[in-house]
Amino acid sequence: MIAIIDYGIGNLGSVYNMLRKLGADLRLTAEPAVVASADKLILPGVGAFDEGMRNLAERGLQDALDEAVLQRRTPILGICLGMQLFSRRSEEDVLPGLGWIAADTVRFTFPAGADQPKVPHMGWNTIQATGEHPLLEGLAEGRFYFVHSFYLRCHDESDVLATSLHGIEFAACLCRGNVVGTQFHPEKSHKFGLRLLGNFLRM
């Protein structure tokens, strides 16, 4: 069973519908007990870092996720803000993140004198894989839909599965053990997103 975490912030309907196309056994849930029994977890997210962390804590989901991911090693996919919450902190807000990845969530800033791309980074963009990984199988030429003003700065480059460019190179996809994440929105990325979500189900 795949549990999609409903913590009051995110694009849940689109994620649910995309996974239904793949025939996944799904639960849209805010219940810690369902998190505990899930075979895989998905943490979507659109919005502010502190609101996301507060909502997880208030619903008892932060402790349930820590136990599932860190102790039982349940695979989890974070999407956009969901991936950013895996980091230790964000320049956007003050609350600590989940801290599963040695990374910080930082604002887009660009060198002085260089072209200043628009922020938020919004629209279709390609990714460049840093190596082979089951999550990105068949996606060497993948194009995905992004909407974000912040990105993860990983302290261990081996955690970065793929990068993208928006004025600067940034982490578009990451993995540390059973924890994987995408800065882009696979649920809005048509055939490429469908392939990535299918890859996650097969991992």
Decide if 175 is catalytic.
no
pLDDT tens figures, 118-166: 889 999 999 999 989 999 999 987 899 999 999 999 999 999 999 999 9
Decide if 132 is catalytic.
no
pLDDT tier at 69 (50, 70, 90 boundaries)?
A: very high
Percentage of residues in the chain with pLDDT exceeding 90? Answer: 87
Of 31, 173, 187, 190, which residue is the catalytic one? 187
Domains along the chain?
Answer: 2-202 (3.40.50.880)
Q: Does residue 147 contact residue 184 with C-beta atoms inside 8 Å?
A: no
pLDDT value at position 71? 97
Helix axes 12-21 and 190-202, enclosed angle (nearest 10): 70
Q: Does residue 176 contact residue 101 with C-beta atoms inside 8 Å?
A: yes
pLDDT tier at 195 (50, 70, 90 boundaries)?
A: very high
Of 80, 154, 173, 175, which residue is the catalytic one? 80
pTM assigned to the model? 0.95
Decide if 185 is catalytic.
yes
Q: Name the strands in the sheet holding 40-43, side by side, starting at the edge strand that comes first in the sequence.
A: 26-29, 2-5, 40-43, 76-79, 179-182, 168-176, 160-166, 128-129
Of 121, 148, 166, 185, which residue is the catalytic one? 185
Mean pLDDT of the chain: 95
pLDDT value at position 141? 79
CA separation for the pair 8, 13 (Å, rounded): 12
